[in-house]
Structure 1
Amino acid sequence: MIPANPPWWTAAVVYQVYPRSFADSDGDGIGDLNGIRGKLDHLTDLGVDVVWLSPVYRSPQDDNGYDISDYRDVDPVFGTLADLDALIAEAHERGIRIVMDLVVNHTSDEHPWFVESRSSTTNPKRDWYWWRDPRDGEHPEPTSWQSFFSGPTWELDETTGQYYLHLFSRKQPDLNWENPEVRAAVHEMMRWWLDRGVDGFRMDVINMISKHPDLADGPPIPGSPWTDGSASYLFGPRLHEFLAEMHREVFAGRDAQLITVGEMPGVTVDQARQVTDPARAELDMVFQFEHVGLDHGADKWDPRPLRLTDLKASFGRWQEGLADVGWNSLYWDNHDQPRAVSRFGDDSPAHRRDSATCLATLLHGHRGTPYVYQGEEIGMANSTWGSVRDFRDIESLNHAAEATARGADPDEVLAALRPASRDNARTPVQWDATAHAGFTTGEPWIAVNPDHVEWNVAAQREDPHSVLAHHRALIALRHANRTLQLGRFAMLLPDHEHVYACTRTTEDETLLVVCNVSATPYRLGELLPEAVGAELVLGNRDHRPDFDPAVLGPWDARVLRLR
């Protein structure tokens, strides 16, 4: 059912900025807030409505800012609070909202809250975090859980003799949301940012904030000495209560102009329906991971080719499940994912431009709010990695160290890192063909992709057929077309291995989105007879002299208006 007065974000497009790698204004090799301000013309030209900033808070940078030591200050590497205020003001002048990354499942171990908590077992902030006594036996850790960044989730604190919980890095202790003082402190901090002009939050791993107080081990993981405790920390027993309380305390009364996005690893469609049901007043939309796990084997370091039929089943299930209640975020790339054109497309010279625009068309053709990750709009690809020493990401480095310690072949470890590392998303944005891609006048904190000489913003800015131009057109179409925003979804050709097709329908029109996700040509009429003679609303190859309306060429993507 199409709402009469849908929220503004149903027609919006979000652009994610990873500040460290976006643009450097002072030559220290690290992107910063003034660098983002200097590129607002690019974002305005692209047409995006919202900019989501990955963390710029004060941080020791153990996990590139997702380990926060002060929620109310900007890390000097990115600038100052005054710089952030100026960015917010200038973005607002251009009609662009600014969303902050909210990381409140955990803090840095250097946050004053944790410094107090670990000082003694009787400190008033002791139970602001999860502390447990050691167990007897060979494995004294309170549970056998494995961290998302390798190794146990428990770290022994020598001062007090107890272990603290960290689902991620040992320098990222988990907050205890069972404590109402913790929740009140987080709410106060969030209101402070909204009062400062921020337009909402993307909430990091927000479905982990409620943990079962027992913190019990789960069933054994096959082939591993460790057990899985995810039932204790994914969608814990009080999550809905905590999110509803957050909405009441922080967003109520001003939520119509804001946007709240919950990143939720492992979320199901039914859970997403609940969390984003407007009647429950929890969150506006979820960030889910089902589709970006479809090319994993045993884990992310064991990539497999994506089967398009699996993608159709996943996307179709989410489109159907959230058709009447709830809302989804649409994305290929973000700061945690390898580049989509290398992962799901074809980054060879022959097909890179077409596969990048094909994937973008496929994504923007769905119901949900599309996200564009920095550099995706010009078809940035995975980088080249000569050795493990070239990587900077803690997850990648920890995996490499653990794998080699187990006796894995270093060449095989490097081969696994190359396509899967998060650093593929973190190489500097390629602004031009000059040294360091116009990102910095200094030495970049991570090497620029060598292909920046050809693939950069400057080379595409005036090219009407570039990846950049196609993204502009997609975003403009999303803004203008109610059917693309809100129309009913129907999957076509669910069993075809190479062609993705769906319809979006309102009472006024039906749009057919059809994408050839391969280099094999197909006759359109044989697959979709209803497409013959349809009006081309947007295509990615129709400018070519050899374009044939009757044939879907390699990586051909079209939005058609059916008669």
Structure 2
Amino acid sequence: MSEHWWRDAVIYQVYPRSFADADGDGMGDLEGIRSRIPYLAALGVDAIWLSPFYASPQRDAGYDVADYRAIDPRFGDLGDFDRMLADAHAAGIRLIVDLVPNHTSSDHEWFQAALAAAPGSPERERYHFRDVTDPEVPPNNWQSIFGGPAWTKTDDGAQWYLHLFDSSQPDLNWDNPEVHEEFKSVLRFWLDRGVDGFRIDVAHGMVKAPGLPDTGGDGTIEMIGTTQAPFFDQDGVHDIYRTWRPIIEEYEGDRIFVAEAWTDSAERRSLYLRPDELHQAFNFDLVLAPFRAVDFRKAIDSEIANNAGVGAPCTWVLSNHDVQRHVTRYGGGERGLARAKAATQLLLSLPGVVYVYQGEELGLDEVLDLPAEVRQDPSFHRTGGEQIGRDGCRVPLPWAKEGVSLGFGPAGEPWLPQPAAWSDLSVEAEDGVPGSTLEFYRQAIATRKGHKATGLTWLADPGEDAFAFDNGALVAVVNFGDEPVPVAGYGTEVLLASADLADGHLPGGAAVWFAK
């Protein structure tokens, strides 16, 4: 494992509920993940980002943490975690775990103590409680990201408490020194166990503007958006990270922090990456961008320029557990899959870090037709189905062509139903099959390892909706349009193409790498 591995790594997001189920209860677990580490090693990834596995009532799929130092029994125990981590390290794969510092579960012992204590007590000072003056009017106009007011009254009706997400996820008060000390302790607990870093959930949250002022309009702010708010991207969050950075640097092994920070510009995002703060911050611009050359190029240029100013690597991503899978975003079917492969090949040729969301290497699409009765996302239920929620990108992976859960587990129905068509997109169906999406990903990641970008120089465009660049190790051409574009002038030796070239032309929705 080389120094500063995190500057050009390929990192694979594992969503524990949906990756692999070892005990047959229909939900993924740590032993299931451990059993599939050889698969991840064969894919060629450098690290795993593991979504929450902590003790939780699971009202928001584990992002409602009841105990930051315990494993939820649905996933296993600390012994299972240690064995999984050891196997990952033995395979040369690092492990980054999720940290959720903006809020706890309402089941957390702190919040239960707060509810049992009186208004104004030290227990309530760990959260945001406000007195009720008008029983119909919350303290401000903030709306929950999941729909509805961001305030709920205590059972006695005397106070409101703040929750930017579900009412079962009360926001912590980061003006309280006790909160700071608790999370420093949590960091050390997992670093002592050997984790290689933390992905920080809602890293742009935590700090609220003094006085909790109203937002503009009706108080509704999108989490997956670019609006600064009195509760998002406040400058005070940077003071927190400056106290965390010395802690992680005490530990050997080049461990890292990764920010989930939705900001209104690449400039604001780069502030999280100053040398005394965090190592990486997800660039979501390509998640939001339409599949067009002009939009991708603008996002790429902005990310490279702003991150260079703080000496941080660029961090590229197309899908995760919160957004619609990009095969579907790009139109679905064969066209959406072709575009998705081209976009992935593009990312793997850019300077910086690439994140892969579980199942995208199989070409999985968004499951759009889940019945209402199986949906679990709180945003679906809080809005009466107006927001469809995120369950469609969280459906358990298909490992086998047949079986009640397509190999996800040894028995029983999975916690969300899988489409029958996923049989043809299973690992078993694609493993070793030339031209499959899985083999394309394996080849692309392997090729990248021998041709890592050292920079980016734009070359003459081959077409109106296509672009080409030299990354210092290879020449990449990406065609975002529908018509073929000529690429004969960019190289003669094809290292990898997401679609076959014909008469020196690259098809629409495709990418190619040429040797220099």
Same fold (TM over 0.5): yes
Supply the AA of the counterpart residue of 2:356: V
Deviation at 1:352, TM superposition (A): 5.6
Per-residue CA distance 1:318-365 (angstroms, 9 max, x = gap): 122223432332111111111111112x432x4465333212102212
- 1:431 and 2:426 correspond: no
Q: Which residue of 104, 121, 124 maps to 1:123?
A: 121
Give SS of 2:140's match: coil
Residue 500 of structure 1: how far off its partner (Å): 4.1
2:514 aligned residue: 560
Q: For residue 303 of structure 1, what is the aligned residue in structure 2?
A: none
In structure 2, the CA distance between the partners of 1:270 and 1:356, relative to structure 1 (3 Å rule), is closer
Larger mean CA deviation between 467-476 and 367-376 belongs to 467-476
2:132 to 131, 134, 144: 134
1:512: which partner in 2?
475
Distance 2:462 2:195 in 1: 42
State how far apart, in whole Å, the 2-side matches of 1:180 and 1:437 are: 49
Structure 2 residue 185 is matched with structure 1 residue 185: no
Write the deviation string for residues 214-268 of structure 1: whole angstroms up to 9, x where unpaired. Answer: 11012225999xxx995312222321111101112x2122265212101002252
> Could you say if the C-alpha distance between residues 491 and 432 of structure 1 is closer, same or farther in structure 2, counting changes exceeding 3 Å?
farther
CA distance in 2, matches of 1:288, 1:535: 32
| Separation in 1, partners of 2:139, 2:377 | 28
From the superposition, tell whether residues 174 and 222 of structure 1 become closer, same or farther in structure 2 (CA, over 3 Å): closer
For structure 2, the 5+ residue unaligned runs are none
Which deviates the most, 250-259 or 211-220? 250-259
| Distance (whole Å) between structure 1 residues aligned to residue 263 and residue 419 of structure 2 | 32
For 2:288 and 2:147, locate their aligned partners in 1 and report how far apart those are by CA, in whole Å.
Answer: 18
Checking the alignment, whether the CA contact within 8 Å between 2:141 and 2:218 is kept in structure 1 is: no
Q: Number of residue pairs matched?
A: 507
Among candidates 232, 245, 264, match of residue 247 of structure 1: 245
Written as runs of structure 1 = structure 2, the 5 A alignment for 1:154-303 is 154-159=151-156, 161-221=158-218, 230-248=228-246, 250-254=247-251, 257-278=254-275, 281-294=276-289
Cα offset, 1:140, TM superposition = 1.4
Q: Which amino acid aligns with 2:498?
A: N
Pair 1:476-2:446 in alignment: yes
**Aligned residue among 496, 499, 514 for 1:538:** 496
SS in 2 for 1:100: strand
* 1:113/1:125 contact within 8 Å kept: yes
Residue pairs, 1:515-526, within 5 angstroms: 515-524=478-487
- CA drift of 1:398 comes to 2.5
After superposition, the C-alpha distances for 1:381-421 in whole angstroms (9 at most, x for unaligned) are 112416433422222333344x4xxxxxxxxx8xxx3xxx4
In structure 1, how many angstroms separate the alpha carbons of the residues matched to 2:349 and 2:227? Answer: 37
The answer to whether the 8 Å contact 1:523/1:552 transfers is: yes
For 2:301, give the aligned amino acid.
Answer: G
Identity %: 36
Does the 8 Å CA contact 1:217/1:229 hold for their aligned counterparts? Answer: no
Higher mean displacement: 286-295 or 171-180: 286-295
Which deviations, in whole Å up to 9, do the C-alpha atoms of 1:441-476 show, x marking residues without a partner?
111110112211211111111113221112112222
Alpha-carbon distance between aligned partners in 1 of 2:220 and 2:124, rounded to the nearest angstrom: 36
What do residues 21-48 of structure 1 show as CA deviations (whole Å, max 9, x unaligned)?
A: 1111111100111111111110010011
Query: Which residue of 303, 315, 320 corresponds with 1:334?
Result: 320
Structure 1 counterpart of 2:428, from 431, 439, 458: 458
- Contact 2:397 2:408 (8 Å CA) reproduced: yes
Q: CA 1:91–1:6 in structure 2 vs 1: closer, same or farther (change >3 Å)? A: closer
**Structure 1 residues 192 and 458 mapped into 2: Cα distance closer, same or farther (>3 Å)?**
same
- Taking structure 1 as the reference length, the TM-score comes to 0.84
Contact 1:34 1:79 in 2 (8 A): yes
Task: Please give the TM-score of this superposition, normalised by the length of structure 2.
Answer: 0.92
Q: Which runs of 5+ in 1 are unaligned?
A: 296-305, 404-412
Instruction: Give 3-state SS (helix, strand or coil) of 1:372's partner.
Output: strand
In 2, Cα distance between equivalents of 1:191 and 1:491: 47
CA RMSD of aligned residues (A): 2.5
**In structure 2, how many angstroms separate the alpha carbons of the residues matched to 1:463 and 1:474?**
15
| 1:323–1:503 Cα change, 3 Å | farther
Shift of 1:493: 4.0
Is the aligned partner of 1:311 residue 2:265? no
Distance in 1 (CA, whole Å) between partners of 2:287 and 2:457 is 21
Deviations 1:287-329 (A, max 9, x none): 133332345xxxxxxxxxx544233322322122223432332
Evaluate the alpha carbon distance shift between residue 490 and residue 521 of structure 1 in structure 2; reply closer, same or farther with a 3 A threshold: closer
2:148 to 136, 147, 151: 151
Distance 1:496 1:422, change over 3 A: farther
Separation of aligned partners in 1, 2:220 and 2:327: 33
| SS of corresponding position for 1:164 | strand
- Cα deviation, 1:127-147, whole Å, max 9, x if unaligned, reads 11111123448x510010111
Matching residue of 1:37: 34
Rounded to whole Å, the distance in 2 between the matches of 1:170 and 1:491 is 52
* Structure 1 Cα separation of the partners of residues 335 and 12 of structure 2: 25
